[in-house]
Structure 1
Amino acid sequence: MFSFAAPRRRRRPSLTPMIDVVFLLLVFFMLASQFGRDTAVPLSAGGGRAPYSGPPRLIDIGATDLRLNGVVIDAETLAARLEQLTQDRDDLIILRADDDATLQRLIDVAHSVQQAGFTRLSVVE
């Protein structure tokens, strides 16, 4: 008759491939999901719709201070002073950050100028 080998002990299935698949799905959904809404401040990198005209409107952004055309100014009075220097809300306003200013500080100032109604901002180095 037939001679069969002794029955082997049944092996338990490996969970490693399933753990790998779950990890890959976790990474995929973390990268594909959007956790918050980012806001964008529209800035131009130079060149624009119209040539620059009118009085200078240069905001120097330091780590702790703001200067409008070289004169130290408070953040609260910046919008009112810019209104005196512009004829229209679409006039170009130039932002320049000092070496000690952080990117967050630049974005905060740009956002406050945009909230004041000025739509055309440009960042220079």
Structure 2
Amino acid sequence: MFDFADPLPARRPSLTPMIDVVFLLLVFFMLVSQVGREGGLPLSAAGAGAPYQGPPRLVGIAPGAITLNGRPVALDRLAEALSPLTEGPADAILLRTTDGATLQHLTDVTDALTAAGFARLVLVE
């Protein structure tokens, strides 16, 4: 008749492959996740919030120049030129870019204005 061999003892499943997959997923999500918001521009869209009141404070950002109310001004003198037109840091400053202006140029202007203490920057078309 049939002669069966003795049954083998049951093997315990290895957890090593599962642990490897879990560590790979952990590393993946650590690398992909956004840790913090770095480099955010503090801008609001035109028409949001209270209507604009006060003297004109329009900063034009062109590829080669910056203007304040249509007059050319250097980036390092922009905050000084804006101070007579504002009553405090909560006053709105309108930023308008022209065709060809880069995002880096807009970032430089917003960095200079926030460093000078201006908190409400509004981007208009």
What TM bracket, shorter-length normalisation? 0.7 to 0.9
Counterparts of 1:60-99 in structure 2, within 5 Å, are 60-99=60-99
Query: Unpaired segments of 5 or more residues in structure 1?
Result: 5-16
Amino acid across the alignment from 1:2: D
Q: TM-score, normalised by structure 1?
A: 0.73
Counterparts of 1:1-125 in structure 2, within 5 Å, are 2=3, 24-32=25-33, 34=35, 38-125=38-125
When the two chains are superposed, the root-mean-square deviation of aligned CA atoms in Å is 2.9
- Structure 1 position 41, deviation (Å): 3.1
Q: Distance in 2 between matches of 1:21 and 1:101?
A: 46
Query: Unpaired segments of 5 or more residues in structure 2?
Result: 6-17
- Structure 1 position 113, deviation (Å): 0.5
Check 1:22–1:101 CA distance in 2 against 1; reply closer, same or farther (3 A cut).
same
Q: TM-score, normalised by structure 2?
A: 0.73
Q: Distance in 1 between matches of 2:58 and 2:92?
A: 9
- Structure 1 position 58, deviation (Å): 0.4
Check 1:33–1:46 CA distance in 2 against 1; reply closer, same or farther (3 A cut).
closer
Percent sequence identity over aligned pairs: 42
> What is the aligned residue count?
117
